[in-house]
């Protein structure tokens, strides 16, 4: 693996290796302090970020390196330089390039032209770092999660797509409950289904939140209005998604040991009630903390190859 652009690019064995490596970094965050010594990792973020940016910066520091933030105003892209020229130039300075942007096409162009690893830090279509974190968190709570089921309830976001792909790679079933008006990306789900078929697991689609949640070991949701969604759609999205709010009654349909997951940021009273996200079954802050060892594992995997 030269880059990490989508979760589906990983093999089951590669995914398992990343889970094991993440576990080692979670136990000992400074276990490899020289990997990036005297090396620079670029962070090209065109969209706001809290967890992804800070966890990646922390991961680089703990691997002995330094980060440089490259906002759109810091580069010549706005003055007409091509993505390809920018990627080739940055490859001469950086050990790796971490990109958060809306366009999956732009990300792919960066990766095709760069001669260093490129990591997807969130696009409109995919969020692979989040999905690795999600399944690592599940593995911490259920040491052998194979055969269990995740229920994703809400809008069919990039998080839902990457989560489905990661679940399939981990031999975990997933049920996606989304409204007809806001489904997950069809190509992304087909990729998850192909992986699931090879692993003997299931990707289930439904419009009924209760059907998805019943018997699940984890219940997951995401915001109703994501970055890039037109603000004028807010009222329509809220109307369509209100039946998909995760509250105590819905969570109560899951297994007694089930946990609540959310990629954050969260909007209490919209996709989830305060009672659930701040309640005893919520592990969202443990989940957020796991972003750092995941980032360390991905960087180590790519730069040690």
Write out the catalytic residue numbers: 100, 127, 130, 222, 263, 291
Half-sphere exposure of 219 (CA within 13 A, CB side): 34
Half-sphere exposure of 12 (CA within 13 A, CB side): 16
What is the C-alpha to C-alpha distance for residues 115 and 2, in angstroms, rounded to an integer? Answer: 9
Cis (ω within 30 of 0) for the bond into 218?
Answer: no
228: its two tokens: 């890039």
239: its two tokens: 């109307």
Residues 6+ apart with CB under 8 A from 206: 175, 176, 177, 212
Chain-centroid distance, C-alpha 220: 12
What is the C-alpha to C-alpha distance for residues 218 and 135, in angstroms, rounded to an integer? Answer: 10
DSSP string covering 149-163: EEEEESS--HHHHHH
What is the C-alpha to C-alpha distance for residues 283 and 281, in angstroms, rounded to an integer? Answer: 6
Rg value, the chain, Cα: 19
- Which residues is 69 bridged to in the sheet? 43
Chain-centroid distance, C-alpha 252: 26
């Amino acid at each position: 693996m030269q880059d990490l652009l989508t979760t589906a690019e990983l093999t089951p064995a590669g995914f398992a290796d990343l889970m094991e490596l993440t576990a080692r970094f979670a136990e000992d965050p400074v276990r490899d302090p020289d990997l990036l010594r005297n090396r620079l990792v670029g962070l090209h973020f065109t969209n706001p970020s809290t967890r992804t940016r800070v966890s990646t910066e922390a991961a680089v520091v703990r691997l002995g390196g330094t980060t440089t933030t490259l906002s759109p105003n810091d580069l010549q892209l706005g003055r007409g330089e091509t993505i390809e020229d920018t990627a080739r130039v940055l490859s001469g300075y950086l050990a790796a390039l971490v990109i958060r942007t809306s366009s999956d096409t732009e990300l792919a162009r960066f990766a095709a032209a760069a001669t260093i690893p490129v990591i997807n830090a969130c696009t409109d279509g995919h969020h692979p770092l989040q999905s690795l974190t999600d399944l690592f968190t599940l593995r911490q709570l259920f040491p052998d999660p194979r055969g269990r089921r995740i229920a994703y309830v809400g809008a069919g976001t990039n998080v839902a797509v990457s989560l489905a792909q990661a679940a399939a790679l981990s031999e975990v079933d997933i049920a996606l409950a989304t409204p007809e008006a806001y489904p997950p990306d069809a190509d992304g789900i087909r990729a998850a289904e192909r992986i699931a078929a090879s692993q003997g697991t299931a990707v289930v689609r439904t419009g009924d939140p209760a059907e998805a949640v019943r018997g699940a070991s984890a219940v997951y949701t995401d915001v109703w209005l994501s970055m890039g969604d037109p603000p004028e759609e807010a009222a329509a999205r809220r109307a369509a998604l209100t039946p998909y709010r995760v509250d105590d009654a819905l969570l109560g349909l899951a297994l007694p040991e089930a946990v609540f997951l959310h990629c954050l940021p969260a909007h209490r009273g919209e996709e989830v009630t305060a009672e659930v996200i701040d309640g005893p079954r919520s592990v969202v802050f443990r989940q957020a903390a796991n972003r750092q060892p995941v980032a360390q594992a991905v960087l180590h995997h790519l730069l040690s190859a």
